[in-house]
């Protein structure tokens, strides 16, 4: 529990702080009620550690807030929609004001959605806000989790928070799927039909789960009411609980921060909750709310009146689920055909349906959940990390992340393969074939490219440290040689570029390495091979000696010849091959 935060010595400023002795007007008004509350709830002690809590400032730290505020908008707009929506599949004849559906039989769910859209003032706005907020909720969670991943913010002590986040992402996706199925329109009903068929085709338990979920045959008359209680009660409650735990942990662990001068693993540098952060975060809430409202006003989404009520003999070309289900949709579209089924005895095992239904989602969520633990096992790193990694400093992790994104993107594109065909005037079958191959090939290619890009960026950082920043000024010396003048970088930047923690590739365990029993030895060898996969190509920070030498060199010399190698007189290379460095770093590789 921190004591009141320390302020950095300040230079003079025009806006004076409130003189300490004089109580300001707000304090005078609030004093009474605060004391009343404190005498019953002990709020002062509760609030004290958190009142001036410090939050670092970076735009990428606001992605999680977009998700949180979208969720709040979902709750508020959802309450409004609940007041008029009828979660019933009973058949009624439409008597509302949308003339193009007049007199048609439809479910009460659909009819009440039409009423919200046309007969209740503000209903269409709230419906659209609600749907845009749902799209943004999942999008922001995904962007936020990518930020956490690429900066290594999931490392100890934040693994549990990461798991909570993976849970929130999964819950958000299903919540959205159930939500847009509630109006019982043709598009979402087709999605329900897909869900029904996919469940039925599941080996062993398929028909049982289907009959239990739909209370009999599809569509029956209970699926909408069942989705309704899941959507407004069970899942939001779970999300709220997980969000509360997620935020509590952020408060307890304090936020991570990027490396920089004055920032260490022990400190958090930023603005206090009151007043600055509250104003910025609170303001951002209103901005998110406002943007979502404007989207609901200006951009049409899910026009159920054009799509029509659900009819199991009708379908639209270009039927897709909402974007966050796109990767599962793509998986099922690019499965090769004719479909893959096993026939064993008198049973049928429909792998053509079960694999795309189960595998991508399982791979995504389980992979995300396990990754922090896998990385911790590989590195053996048990220390806490509060400084973020720049993605380039862990090229393998970044490469794996981009590979996963590529895999996701290929599947996502597969979900829209017919739209790709029509928009770009190409053959639907050709698109499908390309994606069938790309889903395996593209992630590998992406990994290799990303890793090399990261290493290239590390090299440029290395150059900056040793030789300074390039000024673009070309000099010519009396002998006729051209060279570029470099300007030394500030100590602050030097510090920021050398703050990352480093991991090393390990050589295989040998006799002198300590006692390992057979199975342990195999595991340890595997781990060491993994460290080589992870870290063998990574560049290492220059040592203090190297930096001092480079500074001296530049002091004396007149600059660097363009194209001159880095090896002349600078010690043992710059990590051309990180596994075989002699000198100070070799002890990490000694068998």
Partner 1 sequence: MRFLSSRRRHPAAKVALLLFALFVLGGLYNVVAPAERVSADNGYSQQQVDEGRKLFAVGCASCHGLNGEGQTTETIQGPSLIGVGAAAVDFQVSTGRMPMSRPGEQAPVKPNRYSDEEIAALAAYVASLGPGPAIPTETEYNPENLSEEDLARGGELFRTNCSACHNFQGAGGALPDGRYAPSLIGLDSKRLYLAMLTGPQQMPVFSDEVLTPEDKRVIIGYLNELHERPQDGGLALGGIGPVSEGLWAWIVGMGLLVLFAVWITAKGAKAK
Partner 2 sequence: MSEEDRDTGASPLLASHDHHGPELTDHDPAHYPVPDPGHPEHLPRLTDVDPKAADRATRQVAFFFGMVPLFAIGFAVVYFAVPGDWFFDFGPLRANARNLGLGVTFGLSLLFIGIGAVQWARTLMSDEEMVDLRHGATSKPEDQQWMLTELDKTVEESKLTRRKIIGRTLLAALGFVFVPMLVGLADLGPWPTKKKRAETIEKTLWAEGVRLVNDVTFAPIKADDIEIGQLVNGEPENLQDLHGAEFQIEKAKAAIVVVRMDPNTIQIPASREDWQVGGILCYSKICTHVGCPISLWEQQTHHLLCPCHQSTFDLGNSGVVIFGPAARSLPQLPITTDAEGYLVARSDFTVPVGPSYFERDSRQDFEEGDN
Write out the binding residues for partner 2, residues 130-169 only, by CB under 8 A. 156-157
**Where are the alpha helices (H) located in 426-580, listed in sequence order?**
428-467, 491-497, 518-535, 544-556
The structure tokens 């189960």 sit at 358
Q: Which token pair is 399?
A: 């490469």
d(CA 563, CA 546) in angstroms, rounded, equals 20
429 binds partner 2, rule: CB under 8 A:
yes
Q: Which does 111 bind (CB under 5 to 8 A by kind): partner 2, partner 1, none?
A: none
Q: Which does 567 bind (CB under 5 to 8 A by kind): partner 1, partner 2, none?
A: none
Nearest distance from C-beta of residue 347 to partner 1, angstroms: 32
101 binds partner 1, rule: CB under 8 A:
yes
Sequence length of the chain is 591
How far separated are the first and last CA of the chain, in Å rounded?
43
Q: Which token pair is 36?
A: 């009343």
Among 53, 147, 390, 397, binds partner 2 (CB under 8 A): 53
Among 18, 244, 248, 311, binds partner 1 (CB under 8 A): 311
Q: Are 581 and 575 in contact (CB under 8 A)?
A: yes
Q: Which does 115 bind (CB under 5 to 8 A by kind): partner 2, partner 1, none?
A: none
Q: Are 327 and 360 in contact (CB under 8 A)?
A: yes
Contacts of 493 (CB under 8 A, 6+ apart): 464
Nearest distance from C-beta of residue 328 to partner 2, angstroms: 11
Neighbour-count burial for 264-281, b at 16+ CB within 10 Å, e otherwise? eeeebbbbbbeeebeeee
By CB under 8 A, the residues from 415 to 474 that bind partner 1 are 415-416, 418-419, 421-422, 425-430
Nearest distance from C-beta of residue 590 to partner 2, angstroms: 15
By CB under 8 A, the residues from 511 to 550 that bind partner 2 are 541-544, 546-547
Neighbour-count burial for 358-385, b at 16+ CB within 10 Å, e otherwise? eebbeebeeebbebbeebeebbeeeeeb
By CB under 8 A, the residues from 141 to 160 that bind partner 1 are 143
Q: Which of 336, 370, 356 is nearest to 411 (CA)?
A: 356
Q: Which is nearer to partner 2, 54 or 505 (CB)?
A: 54
Query: How far from the centroid of its chain's Cα atoms is residue 465's Cα?
Result: 31
Among 39, 97, 362, 460, binds partner 2 (CB under 8 A): 97
Among 71, 305, 447, 534, binds partner 1 (CB under 8 A): 305
d(CA 505, CA 516) in angstroms, rounded, equals 19
Q: Which does 54 bind (CB under 5 to 8 A by kind): partner 1, partner 2, none?
A: partner 2
By CB under 8 A, the residues from 43 to 62 that bind partner 1 are 57-62
Backbone angles phi, psi at 206, to 5 degrees: -55, -60
d(CA 231, CA 474) in angstroms, rounded, equals 65
d(CA 416, CA 326) in angstroms, rounded, equals 8
d(CA 492, CA 552) in angstroms, rounded, equals 19
Nearest distance from C-beta of residue 416 to partner 1, angstroms: 5
Q: Which residues pair with 587 in a beta bridge?
A: none
Task: Name the E strands within 112-258.
Answer: none
202 binds partner 2, rule: CB under 8 A:
yes
d(CA 433, CA 443) in angstroms, rounded, equals 16
Nearest distance from C-beta of residue 184 to partner 1, angstroms: 15
Q: Which does 101 bind (CB under 5 to 8 A by kind): partner 1, partner 2, none?
A: partner 1
270 binds partner 2, rule: CB under 8 A:
yes
Nearest distance from C-beta of residue 90 to partner 1, angstroms: 20
273 binds partner 1, rule: CB under 8 A:
no
Nearest distance from C-beta of residue 20 to partner 1, angstroms: 26
Among 313, 383, 563, 587, binds partner 1 (CB under 8 A): 313
By CB under 8 A, the residues from 280 to 319 that bind partner 2 are 280, 282-294, 296-298, 300, 310-319
Q: Which is nearer to partner 1, 228 or 412 (CB)?
A: 412
By CB under 8 A, the residues from 320 to 339 that bind partner 1 are 320-324, 326
d(CA 560, CA 359) in angstroms, rounded, equals 54
Site string for partner 1, 60-99 (x = CB under 8 A): xxxx--x--------------------------------x
117 binds partner 1, rule: CB under 8 A:
yes
Backbone angles phi, psi at 106, to 5 degrees: -160, 170
Torsion angle in degrees (nearest 10) through CA of 141, 142, 146, 149: 70
Q: Are 199 and 210 in contact (CB under 8 A)?
A: yes
By CB under 8 A, the residues from 177 to 216 that bind partner 1 are 186-187
Query: Using alpha carbons only, what angle is made at residue 476 by residues 472 and 480, rounded to the nearest 5 degrees?
Result: 140
Q: Are 361 and 148 in contact (CB under 8 A)?
A: no
298 binds partner 1, rule: CB under 8 A:
yes
Q: Which residues pair with 574 in a beta bridge?
A: none
Q: Which is nearer to partner 2, 109 or 142 (CB)?
A: 109
| DSSP, res 485 | E
Among 9, 19, 32, 103, binds partner 1 (CB under 8 A): 103
Q: Which is nearer to partner 2, 12 or 479 (CB)?
A: 12
Q: Which is nearer to partner 2, 14 or 26 (CB)?
A: 14
Q: Which token pair is 302?
A: 């899910």
Among 207, 362, 460, 586, binds partner 2 (CB under 8 A): 207
* Stretch of residues binding partner 2 (CB under 8 A), selected from 174-182, 450-458, 497-505, 563-571: 497-505
By CB under 8 A, the residues from 206 to 265 that bind partner 1 are none
* Cα four-point dihedral sign 578, 583, 586, 590: positive
Q: Which of 422, 115, 446 is nearest to 106 (CA)?
A: 115
Q: Which token pair is 273?
A: 């909750």
Q: What is the largest CA-CA distance in the chain?
A: 94
By CB under 8 A, the residues from 120 to 139 that bind partner 1 are 124, 128, 132, 135-136, 139
Q: Which is nearer to partner 2, 345 or 565 (CB)?
A: 345
Q: Which does 197 bind (CB under 5 to 8 A by kind): partner 1, partner 2, none?
A: partner 2
7 binds partner 2, rule: CB under 8 A:
yes
By CB under 8 A, the residues from 385 to 414 that bind partner 2 are 386
Q: Which is nearer to partner 1, 100 or 491 (CB)?
A: 100
């Amino acid at each position: 529990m921190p004591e009141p935060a320390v302020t950095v010595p300040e230079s003079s400023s025009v806006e004076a702080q409130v003189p300490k002795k004089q109580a300001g007007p707000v304090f005078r008004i609030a004093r009474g009620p605060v004391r009343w509350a404190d005498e019953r709830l002990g709020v002062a002690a509760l609030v004290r550690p958190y009142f001036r809590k410090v939050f670092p400032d970076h735009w990428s730290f606001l992605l999680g807030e977009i998700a949180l505020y979208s969720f709040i908008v979902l709750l508020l707009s959802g309450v409004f929609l609940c007041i008029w929506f009828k979660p019933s599949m009973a058949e009624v004849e439409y008597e509302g004001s949308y003339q193009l559906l007049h007199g048609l039989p439809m479910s009460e769910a659909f009819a009440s959605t039409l009423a919200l859209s046309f007969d209740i003032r503000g209903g269409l706005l709230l419906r659209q806000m609600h749907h845009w907020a749902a799209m943004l909720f999942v999008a922001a969670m995904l962007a936020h989790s990518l930020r956490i991943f690429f900066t290594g913010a999931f490392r100890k002590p934040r693994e549990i928070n990461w798991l909570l986040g993976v849970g929130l992402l999964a819950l958000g996706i299903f919540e959205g799927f159930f939500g847009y199925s509630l109006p019982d329109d043709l598009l979402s009903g087709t999605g329900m039909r897909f869900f029904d068929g996919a469940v039925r085709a599941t080996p062993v338990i398929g028909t049982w789960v289907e009959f239990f979920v739909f209370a009999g045959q599809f569509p029956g008359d209970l699926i909408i009411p069942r989705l309704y209680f899941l959507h407004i009660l069970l899942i939001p409650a779970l999300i709220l609980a997980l969000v509360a735990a997620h935020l509590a942990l952020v408060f307890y662990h304090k936020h991570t921060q990027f490396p920089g001068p004055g920032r260490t693993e022990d400190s958090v540098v930023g603005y206090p909750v009151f007043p600055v952060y509250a104003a910025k975060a609170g303001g951002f809430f209103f901005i998110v709310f406002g943007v979502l409202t404007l989207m609901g006003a200006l951009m049409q989404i899910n026009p159920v009146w054009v799509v029509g009520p659900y009819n199991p003999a009708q379908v639209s070309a270009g039927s897709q689920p909402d974007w966050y289900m796109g990767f599962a949709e793509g998986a099922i579209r690019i499965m090769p055909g004719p479909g893959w089924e096993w026939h064993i005895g008198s049973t049928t095992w429909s792998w053509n349906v079960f694999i795309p239904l189960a595998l991508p989602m399982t791979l995504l969520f389980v992979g995300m959940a396990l990754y922090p633990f896998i990385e911790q096992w590989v590195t053996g790193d048990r220390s806490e990390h509060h400084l973020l990694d720049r993605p380039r400093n862990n090229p393998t992790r970044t490469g794996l992340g981009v590979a996963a994104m590529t895999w996701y993107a290929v599947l996502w594109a597969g979900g829209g393969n017919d739209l790709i065909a029509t928009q770009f005037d190409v053959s639907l079958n050709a698109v499908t074939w390309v994606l069938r191959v790309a889903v395996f090939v593209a992630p590998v290619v992406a990994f290799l490219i990303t890793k090399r890009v990261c290493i290239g960026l590390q090299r440029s950082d290395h150059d900056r440290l040793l030789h300074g920043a390039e000024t673009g000024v070309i000099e010519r010396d009396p002998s006729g040689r051209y060279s570029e003048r470099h300007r030394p970088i500030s100590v602050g930047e030097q510090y920021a570029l050398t703050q990352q923690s480093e991991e090393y590739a390990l050589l295989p365990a040998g006799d002198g390495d300590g006692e390992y029993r057979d199975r342990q030895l195999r595991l340890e060898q595997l781990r060491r091979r993994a460290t080589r996969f992870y870290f063998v190509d990574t560049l290492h920070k220059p040592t203090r000696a190297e930096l001092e030498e480079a500074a001296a060199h530049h002091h004396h010399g007149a600059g660097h010849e363009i194209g001159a190698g880095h090896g002349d007189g600078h010690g043992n290379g710059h990590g051309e091959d990180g596994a075989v460095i002699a000198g100070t770093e070799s002890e990490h590789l000694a068998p």
